[in-house]
Structure 1
Amino acid sequence: MVGDQDSVGALDPLVGYHLRRAFGAFSGDFTAAMEGTGMRQVLVGVLAVVARSPGINQGAVGRVLDIKRANMVSLINELVEAKLLTRETDPQDRRAFALAVTDRGREVLADSLARIEAHEARMLAGFTETERAALLELLRRIERRAGDSA
């Protein structure tokens, strides 16, 4: 039996409280999984989106990942400097840059995704496939709801 000192009281029924705790656990394990790579979640996200849509411009990547325009510039610069992305003037809109993943970027993305898959397997080891699918669907519903109110 859990003692009163371990109880979170009025916080226990609050979804946001448990989401924050779960995020903390996931985030800590993600950081450990990616240690030594120099990669962060946001950088993996940018690489994954560009790999899926070569030639996409950075504004579109930002919209897909919900990253503010001002932040996209430094993220793209970081990936270009690391030689994980190339950036060229978009021939159809000379004000925009077309992005592409380099060979090195594809290697880093593949390694990052393998590490992330192992991380998620650890974190969700006690979940059935049905529970994992249900969790993803519930989280996506929250994301869509947040998008609808923006």
Structure 2
Amino acid sequence: MSRKPLAIGTLSHLIGYHLRRASGAFALDFSDAMSGTGMRQVLLGILAIVEANPGVNQGTVGIALGIKRANMVALINELVDAGLLARVTAPDDRRAFSLTLTDMGHERLKDCTVRIEAHEARMLADLSADERQTFLELLARIEARKA
């Protein structure tokens, strides 16, 4: 027996509602894509920033990703313990640590990036390349509001 979809009333025009629903769908598919890797979005974010900025200080990475300092220490420890990041005292500031990816970190990020690209291709299959670009630009404008 087929049921008529339930009306969602005022929610139908609320962008925040639809963003949350879309984010939930993305998160579930992302989790499936990362199955067996031991990686979470936050850890991948850290690896990506460090790969793009070798030797970056962990506080700067935390600021870029919006991670509180207390949480950042535990996340960096997790990546160091997993052999994905190398942490050394920064030569220009003995109170700070600089970060670089290990060979294993580069390989893990590469593998996860392939998985993420497949995940995004699935999730965005109904959007053209131009629509995807517009979507990114619109999201960036929303993100810039919090800065």
- TM-score in terms of structure 1 length: 0.94
1:129 equivalenced with 2:129 (yes/no): yes
Q: Give the match for residue 17 of structure 1.
A: 17
Unaligned runs of 5+ in 2: none
Secondary structure of residue in 1 paired with 2:75: helix
Q: Distance in 2 between matches of 1:90 and 1:66?
A: 21
Structure 1 runs, 4 residues or longer, greater than 4 Å off:
none
Counterpart-to-counterpart distance in 2, 1:66 and 1:39: 18
Q: How does 1:82-101 map to 2 (within 5 A)?
A: 82-101=82-101
CA drift at 1:118: 0.2
Query: 1:64-79 counterparts in 2 under 5 A?
Result: 64-79=64-79
Q: Which residue of 2 aligns with 1:141?
A: 141
Q: Secondary structure at the match of 1:87?
A: strand
- The alpha carbon displacement at 1:91 in A equals 1.1
Q: What letter matches 2:78 in structure 1?
A: E
Q: Aligned runs of 1:22-33 on 2, under 5 Å?
A: 22-33=22-33
State the Cα deviation string for residues 35-81 of structure 1 (Å, max 9, x = none): 01000000000000001111101000011111111110000000000
Residue of structure 1 in register with 2:36 after alignment: 36
The alignment covers a number of residue pairs equal to: 145
Q: Tell me how far apart the structure 2 counterparts of residues 88 and 102 of structure 1 sit (CA, whole Å).
A: 12
* Gapped regions of structure 1 (runs ≥ 5): none
Report the 3-state secondary structure (helix = DSSP H, G, I; strand = E; otherwise coil) of the residue aligned with 1:146: coil
Please, what is the CA RMSD of the aligned residues? 1.0
Residue number in structure 1 paired with 2:107: 107
Aligned equivalents of 2:133, 2:92: Cα separation in 1: 40
CA distance in 1: counterparts of 2:146 and 2:15, whole angstroms: 15
Letter in 2 for 1:28: L
- Work out the percentage of aligned pairs sharing the same amino acid: 61
